[in-house]
Homo-oligomer: A and B are copies of this chain.
């Protein structure tokens, strides 16, 4: 049974302390394919070819495993959003009000949610996650701060609280994604603009922030 050769036999578990990332990878696959319910400790262990209690050495409990996964996913989302912002034009320094960057922000958020339903859902499953987790909390806060930063860079008209505007944009996107993922709205196009409904929705919202609406 014992292999005297010192070279690692090419088994499934890659020798070193590689079980933890393997568990997270398996969890991610399971999540995408069958949803958060299917991400059980035992199923993840099975997928990695280890015993049902092996994960306990890396994650105290199921909540801890899912929280670590969610932290990864949130980092992915944050990166996606950052890329979207990087690709958006800078605000015109003097020309006043540009909503291109906020549009990019909202569109990227909705796109991610619709593209990765189970991942997006998990991010907000507070019953499954440890809300106190520093990594998770930190990434979320940073993303929100990023939005607030973009909004504060704009010359909002008097009477508009930038924080209310930020909460509004986020709520709008989050609500739309949630409803769509729950099968409640249908992917349609705006009857007037012909754009996807969520795009028109975001555009309408952002136009309202501008000092003066410019009607067609």
Q: How many copies does the complex hold?
A: 2
Closest beta carbon of chain B to A74's beta carbon, Å: 12
A152 interfacial contact with B, CB 8 Å: no
Partner of A207, one of B191, B208, B212: B208
Closest beta carbon of chain B to A37's beta carbon, Å: 6
A163 interfacial contact with B, CB 8 Å: yes
User: A4-12, A21-29, A54-62, A170-178: which one contacts chain B?
Assistant: A170-178
Given known A159-B193, A159-B215, A200-B161, contact A175–B182 (CB-CB < 8 A): no
Q: How many residues of A contact B (CB 8 A)?
A: 49
- Give the chain B neighbours of A49 by CB distance below 8 A: none
Given known A161-B192, A172-B171, A207-B208, contact A182–B126 (CB-CB < 8 A): yes
A135 interfacial contact with B, CB 8 Å: no
Subset of 17 A-B contacts with CB under 8 Å: A126-B182, A131-B183, A140-B184, A163-B191, A164-B197, A164-B204, A165-B204, A167-B197, A168-B205, A171-B176, A172-B175, A173-B175, A174-B175, A174-B179, A204-B208, A205-B205, A212-B215
Give me 12 other A-B pairs in contact (C-beta within 8 A), A164-B192, A164-B204 excluded: A140-B184, A158-B216, A167-B176, A167-B185, A167-B201, A168-B201, A170-B179, A173-B175, A175-B176, A207-B208, A212-B213, A213-B213
